[in-house]
Each structure stands twice: as structure tokens, then as C-alpha cells.
Amino acid sequence: MKHAIVILLLIVSIPVQAQMPDWAMMKDREGNTYYFDKSGKIYTDENIKPAYKAVAKDELEYYTSKVKTLWKAGYRKQALTIAKSIMALRETSQHVINGKKDIAAFLRENQMKHGNRFVDISREAWLYLTREDNRMYLFNDKVPYIVSIAGNAEVISAKSLDSLQYSQTVLRTGIRFTPTKGYDAIMTIAAESFAGTIESVNVLQQHWKNVAFDTFQRTLIKTNDSMALYSFITADALQLVGLELFMIKENRGYMVRIFTTKERFNQYKDDIAAIIDGFSTP
């Protein structure tokens, strides 16, 4: 496991002025900036573009048409992202089944027509979202996993890297448990696929220690050969709190980290724990 991976959420204090005089600010080692208001809500300085939207069954006709319109206009990654979202919907009605059949036929036609180019575009469209029964689902089909959230998640950034016998994806999202401005928590998921099988979760954790130094104060909650779950607090003035999961599956390694302020963690710790517990890999 020699590949260098993106260093994530290694929190350091930066003495610059926040957006408001009574707000706190921190910047991580990757250069991402976060602002914290007096109630503990989290904000970023990114201009978030709605590149990823969760597809729901009651908007199926709109999104089915959108797939074909985007593809015809040359926005093929965006088209496949929505198409995969449609295909990920549960078949709860004939309406959904018919919509999925339509998109499946569209995908088959273009895969036959474009061959390897279609495969390349599909690999770029590795992240897609659905919403069902007041839950949001995030899917990754490059280094596969599924995340379920009882709330809303907004994609802040989604990056991927491919080299010989190695793939990596890094997803950063803001989570809202209430429909208000700002985020209640920030979640980062780093997923890696290696050439060989990862022997144990300890190997993955040592890999992370080698490439991503931090000063978190961690407490082990539970562990076995394939996973390790920690709570943590940051060693700085903000004292951000969260949960961190390391998991392995064959040749794949995952790190899931959710952080927030102490106040928000105490308020939503059960919701945060449910996201971690619901993280799954096929």
C-alpha cells in the first residue's frame, strides 16, 4: 500500500478573520475552510454548484427526460450520473419499474454505440444520489459503498484518482439534520482500491498514519479484523468532535469521518452514529 492519498481534515488553527466577528474559523491541511457560528452551525467558503441532486421517484419523468437532453447536448457525465440515480431507485411501483426500463434501454443503446468511451464516461460518473422515504442515499460505484442519511447531504467536493491497479475517491459533504442554513456536520469518505488484499484493518490504519498525520485525541469504541470505530476530539481551541470509521473489504479500504461542534454532536450524536452504522460495502 504505497500510494499517496489525499490528506483529509487534518485540522489546524489559522489566525484570519471569519465572516462575522463572533464566528470561529478553521482550515484543514487540504486547504478547505470552515466557519462556525455561535450556535455551532458549519459553513464553507465554496460556491457550491448543484452538480449532484438526489433523484426521487415522484420526479421520475423530469429526470428521465433530463438524462436524454443532457446526453444529446454533450453533458454526458451529468447524464450518466442521473441515469445511475434512476437505476438505483427501489422498484416500489410499476411507475418506477417502467422508468428504469426506459433508462436501461437508453444505457444499453449508448454503450453499444460508444463502446470504450462510454465505459470511460461511466467511471467518471462514480457518485450518484437518491431520495426515498425521507432518507438520502449516496452511492459510489468506483470503489463501491452506500451511505444512508436521515436528513440532507450536499456534495461539497468529489474527487477521484486512477492509476495502475489503484483507484481512490474522496467525497466531502455537508449534512443537515434540520432544514436551516449551514451544516450540522461535515462528512468525508475516502475509499481506496489496491492491487492486493488488505490483510486486516490494522494494516489500513497504519497506512493512514504514514500518509496523514493528525493530532486527534481518539477513543476506540469497537474493533475487529475488518473494522475499527473511534470517537475523537481535535486538539485545538475549537475542540471539534466526531466519529471515525476504518473498514476493509478484500482489496478495498475505507475511512469515514464525521465531525461537528460539541454542541451539535451532543444534539445529533444518534443521527451521526446511524450514518456510520449504515455505511455498507457490496
Relative to beta strand 252-260, strand 241-249 is antiparallel
Q: Where is pLDDT greater, at 33 or 188?
A: 188
Give the percent of the chain with pLDDT over 90: 71
d(CA 43, CA 195): 38
Q: What is the pLDDT of residue 50?
A: 63
247 CB-near residues (< 8 Å, 6+ apart): 201, 204, 226, 227, 253, 254, 256, 279, 281
Q: What is the pLDDT of residue 61?
A: 94
Nearest in space to 158 (alpha carbons), one of 147, 170, 149? 170
Give the percent of the chain with pLDDT over 70: 89
> For 179-184, what is the mean pLDDT?
88
Within 116-248, where are the H helices?
A: 116-124, 201-211
141-164 residue pLDDT tens: 999 999 999 989 999 999 999 998
Predicted confidence (pLDDT) at residue 220 exceeds the cutoff of 90:
yes
Q: What is the pLDDT of residue 38?
A: 84
As beta bridge partners, residue 246 has 228, 255
24-51 residue pLDDT tens: 888 776 677 888 988 888 988 766 666 7
As beta bridge partners, residue 187 has 173, 258
Band of pLDDT at residue 237, cut at 50, 70 and 90: confident
DSSP per position, 194-214: -SS----HHHHHHHHHHH---
Nearest in space to 170 (alpha carbons), one of 135, 203, 200, 211? 211
d(CA 106, CA 279): 30
Q: What is the pLDDT of residue 12?
A: 39
**148 near 137, Cβ under 8 Å?**
yes
Q: What is the pLDDT of residue 15?
A: 37
Q: What is the pLDDT of residue 173?
A: 95
Length of the chain: 282
In the block, which residue shows the cell 447536448? Answer: 73
Q: What is the pLDDT of residue 67?
A: 97
Q: What is the pLDDT of residue 56?
A: 96
Q: What is the pLDDT of residue 214?
A: 78
Predicted confidence (pLDDT) at residue 9 exceeds the cutoff of 90:
no
- In the three-class reduction of DSSP (H, G, I as helix; E, B as strand; rest coil), residue 56 is classed as coil
d(CA 184, CA 174): 7
Phi, psi of 197 (to 5 degrees): -65, 140
To which H or E segment does residue 156 belong? strand 152-163
Predicted confidence (pLDDT) at residue 5 exceeds the cutoff of 50:
no
d(CA 57, CA 96): 6
